[in-house]
Amino acid sequence: MYAACGAVSKADNEKLQADLDAATEAQKEIKDDLKKESKNRKEAEKKVEDTEEEIAAMQEAKDKKEEENKKLASDAKKKAADLEKSKKELDELKAELEKEQEAAAEAKKQSALALERAEKAEADLAAKAKEAEDLVAAVEAAKAELETKVENLAEEEKTEEAIKENIEKKLKNPGPWSSGLCSCCAGGKGLCLKTFCCPCLIVGRMNATMKADGSAPCPGGCPGGCCLGCVCLPCFMCKAAPTIAKKGAKEEAKCKACLCTTCCPCCYLSRVHREHLKQAEEGGAIAEAPLQETMAEGGEGGGAEKPAATGGTKWSTGLCKCCAKPGGVGLCCKAFLCPCIITKNLNKYLKDNEAGGTCPGGGCGGCCCGCLCLPCFMRKAAPVVATLASKEEGKCRACMCGMCCPCCYLEQVFRETLIMSAS
């Protein structure tokens, strides 16, 4: 029995030992598997880390690539804009080049014409040079003949005295005029200063006085001479100087008058005007034709007789009476420094008297609109004021006076309204 039990126990023990060995073997295999799995896991983790690094690098590369693409797109747009700008500039350069080519062609054409004219002028110059040589020879011959005559005449004392008297007479009489061209102050320093500083006054007075006998170079009397005469003084003197010389039984060539005015306008204008004044004094006429009918200080003399020599509209005060009353120096300063005040009062006066204001809006309208175009304002206002004062004033004359002498003319018209208001 014990032997049977021992055999069973031994069999069980062997079985258990076999199971234990199998379990140990299995555990060893499991440990090997775990080691393999741990190693695989580490390799997997390393692969995951490597993959994540690759993914991060790829993402960074992608971001960098996108930034480069954006930059390339921006550069492409900028280059496209620059290309468009360059294209426009190229078109402009082409247009300018075409214009320059046209200008060059025109210049070439003008150069050819100038060359042709130069050749013609050269031919004319050669002809004139020949004529000059002939004239020089003639002058030399005349000079030799004159010297012979002088030698013959020098032998006789009476002839010498006659020659001296003729020379003295010629020196005293400077041609067709009573004074020399360089005698600037022969008629006084005032005339010299007027001619130099404001020749339009001298030209206007000459034209107004000459209008009486219909020999005035310019229409419109004093304003016409003042405006048109000074625009082209040589043309004015080309007609005025021979006319004045003819009145003094003398002669003056138109070409000489034009050249003298071009070369020395102030001196020649003074010379002719002095002759004009002398003729007027000798004939008993007024030496200087008045620009306007003047009124004494204080507004007296408004009923004075209107002289016919001026040929213009008469106001109660003169155009050059800047400080005349009413108004005085204050009105002169306002007209010069701030004419809008006078245009305001003038427009308000016309509206209050139901004469139809020049500008809409009464005083404010006259202040704003009147100074924007004073000649247009005076063109309408001056004839209306003249009508209210029982006088006449042309629109054209009012516009010219408002353009040439705005301050003085504005004072003259406004003083008329002050005189009418006082009466």
Q: Number of folded domains in the chain? A: 3
99 vs 146: which has the higher pLDDT = 99
How far apart CA 401 and CA 388 sit, in angstroms, is 19
Taking residues 276-293, report their average pLDDT: 54
The answer to whether residue 146 sits within a structural domain is: yes
Would you state the pLDDT for residue 226? 73
Share of the chain above pLDDT 70, in %: 78
C-alpha dist (Å) from residue 378 to 340, 347, 360, 370 = 13, 10, 15, 8
Least confident of 6-20, 155-169, 257-271, 276-290: 276-290
Would you state the pLDDT for residue 289? 39
206 vs 416: which has the higher pLDDT = 416
The answer to whether residue 48 sits within a structural domain is: no
Taking residues 35-57, report their average pLDDT: 86
395 vs 158: which has the higher pLDDT = 395
The range of the structural domain enclosing residue 169 comes to 105-173
- Report which of 353, 412, 355 is spatially closest to residue 378, judged by C-alpha positions: 412
Tell whether 160 and 226 lie within a shared domain: no
Would you state the pLDDT for residue 248? 75
Indicate whether 404 pLDDT > 60: yes
Indicate whether 411 pLDDT > 60: yes
How far apart CA 280 and CA 272 sit, in angstroms, is 12
Peptide bond into 223 cis (omega under 30): no
How far apart CA 398 and CA 220 sit, in angstroms, is 12
The answer to whether residue 302 sits within a structural domain is: no
Instruction: Supply the pTM of this predicted model.
Output: 0.32
The answer to whether residue 255 sits within a structural domain is: yes
Dihedral angle at the C-alpha atoms of 50, 53, 59, 64, nearest 10 degrees? -120
Q: Cα 205 vs. chain centroid, distance in angstroms?
A: 30
Would you state the pLDDT for residue 355? 63
Share of the chain above pLDDT 90, in %: 1
Average pLDDT, the chain: 77
Tell whether 335 and 397 lie within a shared domain: yes
The answer to whether residue 137 sits within a structural domain is: yes
> Averaging pLDDT over each range in 127-141, 217-231, 253-267, 373-387, which range is the top one?
127-141
Tell whether 335 and 415 lie within a shared domain: yes
Q: Cα 226 vs. chain centroid, distance in angstroms?
A: 23
Indicate whether 303 pLDDT > 50: no
The answer to whether residue 54 sits within a structural domain is: no
Would you state the pLDDT for residue 157? 66
HEC string for the chain: CHHHHHHHHHHHHHHHHHHHHHHHHHHHHHHHHHHHHHHHHHHHHHHHHHHHHHHHHHHHHHHHHHHHHHHHHHHHHHHHHHHHHHHHHHHHHHHHHHHHHHHHHHHHHHHHHHHHHHHHHHHHHHHHHHHHHHHHHHHHHHHHHHHHHHHHHHCCHHHHHHHHHHHHHHHHCCCCCCCCCCCCCCCCHHHHHHHHHCHHHHHHHHHHHHHHHCCCCCCCHHHHHHHHHHHCHHHHHHHHHHHHHHHCCCCCCHHHHHHHHHHCHHHHHHHHHHHHHHHHHHCCCCCCCCCCCCCCCCCCCCCCCCCCCCCCCCCCCCCCCCCCCCCHHHHHHHHHHCHHHHHHHHHHHHHHCCCCCCCCCHHHHHHHHHCCCHHHHHHHHHHHHHHHCCCCCCHHHHHHHHHHCHHHHHHHHHHHHHHHHHC
Would you state the pLDDT for residue 302? 36
Q: Where a domain ends, among 282, 302, 319?
A: 282
Would you state the pLDDT for residue 236? 80
187 vs 26: which has the higher pLDDT = 26
The answer to whether residue 319 sits within a structural domain is: no
Would you state the pLDDT for residue 283? 61
How far apart CA 346 and CA 334 sit, in angstroms, is 13
Reported as a single tens digit per residue, the pLDDT across 338-371 is 888 888 888 788 877 766 656 655 555 555 565 6
Indicate whether 297 pLDDT > 60: no
Would you state the pLDDT for residue 301? 35
Tell whether 157 and 209 lie within a shared domain: no
Taking residues 230-234, report their average pLDDT: 74
Indicate whether 291 pLDDT > 50: no
Q: Where a domain ends, among 257, 282, 307?
A: 282
The answer to whether residue 122 sits within a structural domain is: yes
How far apart CA 346 and CA 325 sit, in angstroms, is 17
pLDDT band at 299 (very low <50, low <70, confident <90, very high): very low
